[in-house]
Amino acid sequence: MMKRIVIVGGVAGGATAAARIRRLDENAQITVFERSGYVSYANCGLPYFIGGTIKAEDDLVLQSPEGFFERFRIVVKVRHEVFRIDPASKSVSVRDLENGNEFDVEYDKLLLSPGAKPIIPPIEGINSERIFSLRTVEDTFGIHRFIDSEKPKSALIVGGGFIGIELAENLAELGIEVSIVDMQGQVMNQLDGDMAAFVHAKLRSKGVKLLLSKSVKAFETVGSTVKTLLDGGETVSAEMVALAIGVSPDTALAKDAGIALGVRGSILVNDRMGTSVEDIYAVGDAVQVKHFITGEPALIALAGPANKQGRIAADNICGKHSRYDGSQGSSVIKVFDMTVAATGINEKTAATNGIDYEKVFLSSANHAGYYPGGKVMTLKILFEKETDRLLGAQIVGYDGVDKRIDVIATAIRAGMKASELKNLDLAYAPPYSSAKDPVNMAGFMIENINEGIVKQYHWHDVAALPDDGSISKLDVRTEREYGSGHIEGFINIPVDELRDRIGEIDRNKPVYVMCQSALRSYIACRILTGRGFDCLNLAGGYRLYSTVIGDKLAAETAAYCGKEN
């Protein structure tokens, strides 16, 4: 008997599932209903079409309805909205958005891939023709046409997540003056604040104005200008506004059908992607998943998980027994010439879940130091103190960031211990890496901490260090580095002079040591520890400290200037 399969929604999850079902069942009758005009498109590439990196509209479309039918004999109906599910009769009601006609379609198995919708808050003036959201191909073309015709000189982006940052870059590359407003104290909330500081510095260096810890109260469009009123009374004027506040699961259809919902109204599914209603499955941005690290319910709206879920749902629809064991939120983003990546959890999530964790920072060149063109990347890795379990990583840098985050993401998925990163046998040639790859180095650092060979303190501990003479503070950089900027109260003894000048340090006091990246200060700590001193190393060094403190000062200055205006 021919199995009738209906799929609601295309893009990543639905389109992947449809193709997989056909590969498993040549005789199934597969119908996909997609509300937009495109069944499978490069959602993550939309900002790059606006900026002109992707030139042709057709390059955004991965597969057309005609292509789906020609290759897979799958019937795809775009501009068709499923507006009701009747689980009792196993049928869906569909509306043709071109002519308004409505009809019912019966199914044996139903897959929901409705995705998520942009959050559009009920703010006064938000319906202006100069205020846009970016989620679909149609949204992209609309923004592109507006820029071509109106040639705006300024833009305000509300929200500093993936879409907001990518849109900021692409608009700035067009010569548009860009500002980002975000109610959080940082952009990119998957990062910790200390790592986001590097992103803030990059954005500011490219002329992007950051308005952080501020929320939008109202919009007013006057002629070609949108005036955005922020809390505190500050007003920002721009010729266009893009809303990138975030997304919420588009689950009204599922809710009306009596399907159980989870966190933030997402569709509750089991590890086979099955919903609470028999023969109905769900995948993608609309479903609740288990976080791979914490085991807690989570919403993770990324293309990679959606594709995997589509395949797993298809397997189970076709009688196989595939399981989805959770998402860990691996991500990477281009920020102008910088690359930013993360996997697993950050400090905030670890603390919320009551995990007793430690962290290491590492600044390392992306390849061998003697090979020309090396650029520094900063790695931050979190691990559980008692178990040495890898919890997450964040990397900010340039070439090679994506490679390292994928290695660490794989190690997390494989259940490796944090210190076992030192054992990974990674490819090496001078143009690509070092004989001791940054990931290996992180493993060495973690092993040293676990074994008590190194004690460390962090940038956020510096302000609380006593100035009463009860401790020694030592900067082991060169005199020139020290002169170009240092932390008040730290005396300078370059590491190569330390053995000869060790008598200048009180052996009876703890010694807090720092250098530029924490490497020379580690060597200094080994010298001091070997001679009976109690020594602590500044994690991440002055490079991390100055970046974070500089970011805080820049934010305070921006806030002060905003009040003055």
Measured between alpha carbons, how far is residue 177 from residues 46, 157, 169, 343, 561 in Å? 20, 11, 10, 32, 18
DSSP tag of 420:
G
Using CA atoms, how far residue 130 sits from 142, 174, 227, 241, in Å, is 11, 18, 11, 6
Q: How far is CA 153 from CA 33, 182, 223, in A?
A: 39, 21, 14
Q: Can you tell me the distance from the alpha carbon of 282 to that of 288, in angstroms, rounded to the nearest whole number?
A: 10
Residue 102 CB partners (closer than 8 Å, separation 6+): 93, 94, 95, 96
Sequence-ordered list of residues with C-beta below 8 angstroms from that of 355, at least 6 positions apart, any chain: 294, 384, 391
Contact yes or no for 48/166 (Cβ under 8 A): yes
DSSP 186: S
* Residue 279 DSSP symbol: T
Catalytic residue among 44, 318, 515, 561: 44
Whether 561 is catalytic: no
CA 215 to CA 158: how far, in whole Å? 9
C-alpha–C-alpha distance, residues 270 and 324, integer Å: 8
State which amino acid sits at residue 123: I
For residues 74 and 30, the answer to whether their CB atoms sit within 8 Å is: yes
User: Using CA atoms, how far apart are residues 292 and 209, in angstroms rounded to an integer?
Assistant: 36
Return d(Cα 359, Cα 383) in angstroms, integer: 6
Instruction: Report in angstroms the alpha-carbon separations of 407 from 202, 360, 403, 510.
Output: 25, 17, 6, 37
Dihedral sign for Cα atoms in the order 442, 447, 453, 458 = positive
- Residues 68, 7 contacting (CB under 8 angstroms): no
- Residue 366: C-alpha distances to residues 162, 215, 400, 429, 439 (Å): 24, 38, 6, 11, 11
Listed in sequence order, the residues at least 6 apart from 361 whose beta carbon sits closer than 8 Å to its beta carbon are 378, 379, 380, 518, 539, 540, 541, 544
Q: Strand ranges (DSSP E) for 331-436?
A: 331-335, 338-344, 357-365, 376-384, 390-397
Residues known to be catalytic: 44
